[in-house]
Structure 1
Amino acid sequence: MATRTVGGRYQLVRRIGVGGMSEVWHGHDEVLDRPVAIKVLAPGHTTPVDVVRAEARSAARLAHPNVAGVHDFGTSAEQPFIVMELVEGRTLGEHLRAGALDWRIAVRICAEVAAALAAAHGENVVHRDIKPGNIMLTPSGAKVLDFGIAATVGAADDDPDGPVMGTPAYVAPERFAGHPATPATDMFAVGTLLYQCLSGRLPWLRATPTELVHAECHDDPDPLPEIDGLPGEVLDLCSRCLAKDPAERPTAMMAALLLAEAVDARVYVPMSLMEPLPPSPRWIDEPTGRHRA
């Protein structure tokens, strides 16, 4: 059977992922002779071209080492497609099937996810579906995938009467009350992700999705188990990310820097997001140069 080509240059080699409305293919860019990932609509689904174009533009603005890059957008037989960086590796969800991660690995992964979100939030983009299946672990670090339901900060949902966008276990409580997505929305998901990586389970365990949503909105998360060596500031950050009040959650940049420091790792935060450091509480004696408190 002939290989299908879209956009006159991208071969669809084999299907590597299927979502609710789309498929992701391992493809080949014939012009630049390189492998790519190509996202196309699944058979039987239709989405307006401008909606998919908006998705591509949101992701294309994010030039960050922990975000899968977008290369191109086009249409084939009047159906839109997005050409993305092909990220090799296994998803975090696949790794978590074996249980909790070593806390140092868990913290480093979440630091990189938070750094990616800091870049997105700096562009007024909210991911809205941070979860283990949308994070690929590669030799060079974590990569956040699929800004397919991303939204502009504060934007109303496409269908206010429809279901809340996202995966219920990672959706912030205020979203179920009808409030728009904000950076704090993503930070609740980061808290859930960190908790799951550290413990191997979700913060709330309930029998049905309805009970789970009720627990997220009204109950405290179950206490994390004792983890030898885990810094207290990481526990505190996880707790603050899971706060019911969005105003109590830390920013993505704050989370990225704190988590990275806890494991002596480096994360990339765009300079445009860095705030001036507060004045030091110390001064230097002249002429000795000694530091004093």
Structure 2
Amino acid sequence: MFSIKLFCLYLCVTAVAAWIAPAETTTDAVRFEKTATEPTRINGGHLVNETVPFQISLQVQRRGRWSHFCGGSIVSAQHVLTAAHCVEKMKVENISVVVGTLNWKSGGLRHRVVAKHVHPQYTMSPRIINDIALIKVTPPFRLNRADVGTIHLGGADRVGEKVSVRLTGWGSTTPATASASLPDHLQALHYSTISNEECNQKGFRVTRNEICALATQGQGACVGDSGGPLIMAGSRPQLVGIVSYGSATCAQGRPDVYTRVSSFLPYISKVINQDLA
């Protein structure tokens, strides 16, 4: 079996990137277009040129500066969906959520984290399972803005193989996780899901509560992408996966493993309803 790596910058890398305090920004509605002239990136094929309303940056403050360490998705007026391994060992007072920006270092709106809910059955041994968590923020997200919004979670139908999906994130653009280099600007990668059987054949012990996607060598999720959204496009884009883990060296022609959102809809609803009651 190939060695695996959680795609979480804070847990996997000691280097801390610089941060510039965000100010409010205004951008147009979301549109995803690939720019052919952009260089290939590890976590995506191109830069995202217009806002992704549901995309958030999880940031930690160290030495007086904020640094991106994981991604996530807005799923309610006060909740972000992310990976459990991103926040399991974090104190809520040390992290914040930045929304409404393509550049994690500048722009956007910062929200304080007031609670975290790590799935009670999350574990990393003997395999990574139930890698999902919800974060509650204050003040509530300003969902009336064009650059801030929730993502549709869809129903319980399982996404199969050969489905076109899109990953967005600020993950490292270098394959070696020990020398992670975060892009300032949000990246995107269009690729396809593979079956869980094929994912297992390629070296991972995935469960039915996970979903895998695979691109060509040189493209894939990496450190800093953890917790971020895997989206199935359509008239109403749908969140189908949460970045969980992959091979120890990024984008080497092996699958990226995601938490399968459709398997956890009752859990997500329960947490949100309890928090907002």
Q: TM-score range by the shorter chain?
A: under 0.3
Higher strand share: 2
Q: TM-score, normalised by structure 1?
A: 0.21
Q: TM-score, normalised by structure 2?
A: 0.22
**Bigger Cα Rg:** 1
